[in-house]
Homo-oligomer: A and B are copies of this chain.
Amino acid sequence: MFAASPEQTPLVRIGELSRRTGVTPDTLRAWERRYRLLQPSRSDGGFRLYGPADERRVHSMKAMIDSGASASEAARLAIAGEGLAGSRGTPGGTAAEMADRLGAALERFDEPAANDVLDSALTTLTVEAVINQVVLPVTRAIGQRWEAGAISVAQEHFATGVLRARMLALARNWGAGAGPVAILACPPGELHDLGLVAFGVVLRDRGWKIYYLGPDTPIAEVARAASELRPAAVVLAALSRDPLERDAAEIQALASGCRVLLAGQGADDELAARLGAEAMTADPVAAALRLGG
């Protein structure tokens, strides 16, 4: 459904965990030794046996390191984040639980309930955490459930509308920053801008100044705005590859004049390289953090 439910997951050994997370076994052992990130149970023969919680922790630690944190900091938060979301009684439960409840509320057209969940998420977690662990997972889940025919278009529209409105509220005055300038837009044909807004909110929190042109913006217009506003980065987001391909030439031209980032599932390294741009395949929050001045 909206998040992993606690089912009977088999324990895995260090090799498998390494394969799943992309972290070498040596490093995993080092993280266990140095930061007590993991506390695996053992097989009769002494092999380490890891559960899903361990995998989550490794993933979260890796994500933070990728976004520039030091290993020790990442470990501290990966561990603390567990405890905070889990045992210690947060009123709303873990982030995953809140995501579940949010998704359910949206599916039954219950805006007040959805807002309640978001309120409690925002009172417990940071904006970034809410975006990353609640809003975006629900967005993805709803998209998938719609594709699978499990929910109607109306439900999908309703849900998107509610989430978009809340994200835009968080974006208030993101044009007031003193830092580097970013222009945000979706190319023509692309209407889904939730991820883009999320990205902008995180950047704003880091001191960036955001100019938001929104969905379905012609590249030529982005270029014109760029020549006027002199941004440190232009971000183009698309869920599918088509809109980016269609305007490839224009994007390439734009990228020759300023730094262009391609975001969303429509972006990949090959395409980005071809257009002289950069791809941001990770989630918006990590991408925002990685982005330098």
Contacts and interface: CB of A to CB of B under 8 A. Distances in A.
Contacts of A68: 10, 12, 16, 19-20
Contact of A176 (B62, B63, B207, B225): B207
A136 interface: no
A245 interface: no
A191 B214 CA distance: 12
A87 to B, nearest CB: 10
A40 interface: no
Interface of A: 2-3, 6-13, 16, 19-23, 43, 47, 49, 52, 55-56, 58-60, 62-64, 67-70, 72-74, 76-77, 80-81, 84-86, 88-91, 93-96, 109-112, 115-116, 118-120, 122-129, 133, 152-154, 157-158, 160-162, 164-166, 168-180, 185, 191, 204-209, 211-214, 216-218, 221-222, 224-225, 228-229, 289, 291-293
Given A20-B289, A116-B128, 6 more contacts: A10-B70, A56-B206, A91-B170, A153-B218, A177-B179, A177-B207
